[in-house]
Amino acid sequence: MQLPQRVFVGALVVPMLLASVGTAFRGEPEIAAGHLVFAVRSSEIVLAGTAASAGERQEIVDAVRGLTASHRITDMITPNVGERMPVTPAVAASLLGVVLDQGVADFTGVVHKGHFSASARVADPERAGLLSDGLRAAAPGLRVDEDFTSD
């Protein structure tokens, strides 16, 4: 084999073969957890974030829709093959259920990387305490950070 052919084989063909063998043994790429945002504004619930598929997105929407008939649901969740929901539909519904049970009409919650950040305007400090306790109980696997203000 002449030098130009050796360079071609060594520089291009060998790395391509090694890369193809490596991908055969790695299997499917792991799908990372994305984020989920929900906001309650009066009689509207807004859902945003990323889901691994349209089916996963629909499961979250259906779980939230099952909580209330009096709120309009605005779905802004984007199916993204590279990111899945960070919590199950049951946990998302549980978190939002706590908010609705406490009668909070101004709430924003974000689930991302094992954290749940919540901000709300509540009627009084007692309601803030009940909301805090309820959110922590609804998602025991998440670290809850909160910023509640009372009227």
pLDDT at residue number 81: 78
Determine the longest span between alpha carbons in the chain, in angstroms.
83
**Whether 77 contacts 83, CB under 8 Å:** no
How many DSSP H helices and E strands does the chain contain?
5, 8
Predicted local distance difference test score (pLDDT) of residue 19: 52
pLDDT of 12 higher than 70: no
Please state, rounded to an integer, the average pLDDT across all residues of the chain: 84
Amino acid present at 76:
M
Secondary structure E strands in the chain? 32-33, 35-41, 44-51, 72-79, 83-84, 106-112, 115-122, 143-150
Asked if the model's pLDDT at residue 150 lies above 90, the reply is: no
Distances (CA, A) of 54 to 44, 84, 93, 96: 22, 11, 18, 21
Cβ atoms of residues 148 and 129 within 8 Å: no
Q: For residue range 26-82, what is the model confidence (pLDDT) as tens digits?
A: 555 577 888 999 999 999 999 999 999 999 999 999 999 999 999 999 999 998 878
Model pTM? 0.77
CA pair distance 22, 17, nearest whole angstrom: 9
Q: How confident is residue 8, by pLDDT bands cut at 50, 70 and 90?
A: very low
The yes-or-no verdict on residue 16 having pLDDT over 90 is no
Residue 11 pLDDT level (bands cut at 50, 70, 90)? very low
Beta-ladder partners of 69:
none
How far is 74 from 136, CA to CA, in rounded Å?
25
> Is the pLDDT at 121 greater than 90, yes or no?
yes
